[in-house]
Amino acid sequence: MRLAAVDAAAARANLSPGQNLSDARALVPELELREIDRAYIGQVFSDFADWHSNASPIVAVHPDVAPYGDLILDITGVTHLFGGEAKMLALLVGRLRALGFAISGAIADTVGAAWALSHFAPNSIVPEGGIEAALAPLPVVGLRLDDAVVAGLNQMGLKTIGQLYGRDRRALQARFGAGLITRLDQALGRIEERITPRIPIAEYYAERRFAEPIGFMDDVLMTARDLAVQLGLTLEAEALGAQTFHLFLYRVDHKVMNLTVNAGRATRDPNHIAQLFVHRSERLEGEYDAGFGIDMIRLAASSVAEVESTQLGAFEVRDGAQDLDRLYDRMTSRLGPLALVRNKFVNSHVPERAVKLEPVIARTVDDPGALPDPDLRRPLRLLPQPEPINVLAEVPDGPPMRMVWRRIAYRILKASGPERIEAEWWRSGRNLEVLLPPQAREERGDPRDDSPKRKQAPAEPEHVSKLEAFDPLTTVRDYYIIEDDGGRRFWIFRIGLYGAAETPRWFLHGFFS
């Protein structure tokens, strides 16, 4: 175990990151230690990254090179908003420092160079083309290398990055592996290094900054409406609409809240968008916490699609589809994305699989082959989970006579059935295999022998029972429609057969009207 980071007091006691734990304990017996909490650090850094999207659209958390994390911002084309690179760096570093964090930063053309500089020459800004000179005096650790490689380089007397510049690349690669060359090239900008932004880049957005932080939800929603108007104009200019809208609330204290609403069809109507956010906010219930205030709000659109300008045609069909879609949007934003569903038929004969519930805002195309057979009588209501019942029925296959369901006894007057519904063997995950009868298998070794023996009927029943015993999904159900003496009509089924090893079980699955 090693030390990952030390505080000021520990640094004064000559402890340093990377030191062996036992060595450190020997130096400072009363050393206070805490194990590194990676989950917590990861959480804090994602918050940081989200928050910094108010400075630049592309922000990434650098995967763990250092134990305490690095934040990378692509500031191409945004520095003028802050009054230049120097001012921007000072602002970003300064505001985190004001929150009490120890932080250092640097600006350079490449991710590698910026990393090296921020760790070993903080606050430096490298002008274009000055990378080689700027990196030359820095230690080789700045290239984001493994400890073993760094140790090896140091052993050879290669202490600074500058010493690597003129070396034979092939020799270096042979000695230290391809990683060193890659890192060196990345730092110097000879090969590209990509970063993945945490928040997907929204092409269309509108934002507003506040001189004074705001806190009330009503203010936020009002701003959202204003932004929706702005965004609507932007989208209209390009004949576009969007299905998903994100509202990012940047809090003064490095946190970002995200509200997302979805529309059933692409829209750019500000009133509708604002309405969706109002409903969404009602569902927050205490999750909303403005902290010390919100100083910036951004409304971004994703899932952009083309939307024609609205013009009422002379032959337009008023089928209310648009009204319905809007209703679904409003209800979904308030009640949750899964609250509103519709029945969608699936090509399956198993009752509970034949119909699936699909959210109305994410509708898919209907499968015309999946429509149910109209001649089959199906119940009006189906229980999500079939309930076990006690049934008295004629043996072996007769209709049920009595049933006990939810501790109430029913006398059954009429019944029709059984309708046998088999399980779907193709879903059991087992490939279909040809099971040869035992004799045939024996004879297989001798193909010339086309004796009458082979034509004999194989022992069929054995196979069938074997197959069933193998497959846990093979549950045959026998459905009955029953009517009791009160006129109530139920749909019940039986698993298993009378006379088999196991006594059959009965379940109630649905209600007829």
Q: Where do contacts with other proteins occur on this chain (CB under 8 A)?
A: 318-321, 323-324, 326-328, 330-331, 334-335, 338-345, 351, 354-355, 357, 360, 366, 371-372, 374-385, 399, 405-406, 408, 413-416, 481-483, 485-489, 510-513
∠ CA 15-19-23 to the nearest 5 degrees?
80
**In the complex, what is the shortest distance from the CB of residue 282 to other proteins, in angstroms, rounded to a whole number?**
9
Residue 118, sorted as left (phi over 0), alpha (psi -120 to 50) or beta, turns out to be alpha
**In the complex, what is the shortest distance from the CB of residue 200 to other proteins, in angstroms, rounded to a whole number?**
30
Q: Using the structure block, give the residue that is written with the tokens 């049934």.
A: 391
**DSSP 8-state code for residue 110:** S
Is the Cβ of residue 248 or residue 491 nearer to other proteins in the bound state?
491
**In the complex, what is the shortest distance from the CB of residue 245 to other proteins, in angstroms, rounded to a whole number?**
20
Rounded distance between C-alpha atoms, residue 437 and residue 327, angstroms: 62
Is the Cβ of residue 87 or residue 411 nearer to other proteins in the bound state?
411
Rounded distance between C-alpha atoms, residue 416 and residue 450, angstroms: 50
**In the complex, what is the shortest distance from the CB of residue 259 to other proteins, in angstroms, rounded to a whole number?**
18
Is the Cβ of residue 205 or residue 493 nearer to other proteins in the bound state?
493
Q: What is the DSSP string of 260-295?
A: EEEEEEEE--HHHHHHHHHHHHHTTTT----TT-EE
Is the Cβ of residue 240 or residue 383 nearer to other proteins in the bound state?
383
Q: Using the structure block, give the residue that is written with the tokens 């090179």.
A: 65
* Contact between 159 and 22 (Cβ < 8 Å): no
Is the Cβ of residue 73 or residue 354 nearer to other proteins in the bound state?
354
What are the backbone dihedrals phi and psi of residue 498, each rounded to the nearest 5 degrees, phi first? -70, 140
351 contacts: CB under 8 Å, gap ≥ 6: 378, 382, 421, 479, 509, 510
Cα dist. 118→123, 138, 268 in Å?
A: 7, 11, 43
Is the Cβ of residue 195 or residue 327 nearer to other proteins in the bound state?
327
**In the complex, what is the shortest distance from the CB of residue 493 to other proteins, in angstroms, rounded to a whole number?**
14
Is the Cβ of residue 28 or residue 370 nearer to other proteins in the bound state?
370
How many residues make up the chain in this entry?
Answer: 513
Rounded distance between C-alpha atoms, residue 153 and residue 176, angstroms: 8
CA count, 13 A, side-chain hemisphere, 341? 9
* Contact between 259 and 277 (Cβ < 8 Å): yes
Is the Cβ of residue 48 or residue 480 nearer to other proteins in the bound state?
480
**In the complex, what is the shortest distance from the CB of residue 113 to other proteins, in angstroms, rounded to a whole number?**
53
**In the complex, what is the shortest distance from the CB of residue 64 to other proteins, in angstroms, rounded to a whole number?**
41
- Would you state the torsion angle of the CA atoms of residues 281, 286, 292, 296, taken in this order, to the nearest 10 degrees? -20
**In the complex, what is the shortest distance from the CB of residue 338 to other proteins, in angstroms, rounded to a whole number?**
8
Is the Cβ of residue 272 or residue 489 nearer to other proteins in the bound state?
489
Sequence-ordered alpha helix ranges (H) in 2-73: 8-12, 21-27, 38-51
**In the complex, what is the shortest distance from the CB of residue 325 to other proteins, in angstroms, rounded to a whole number?**
9
The helix/strand/coil state of 417 is strand
H/E element, 309: none
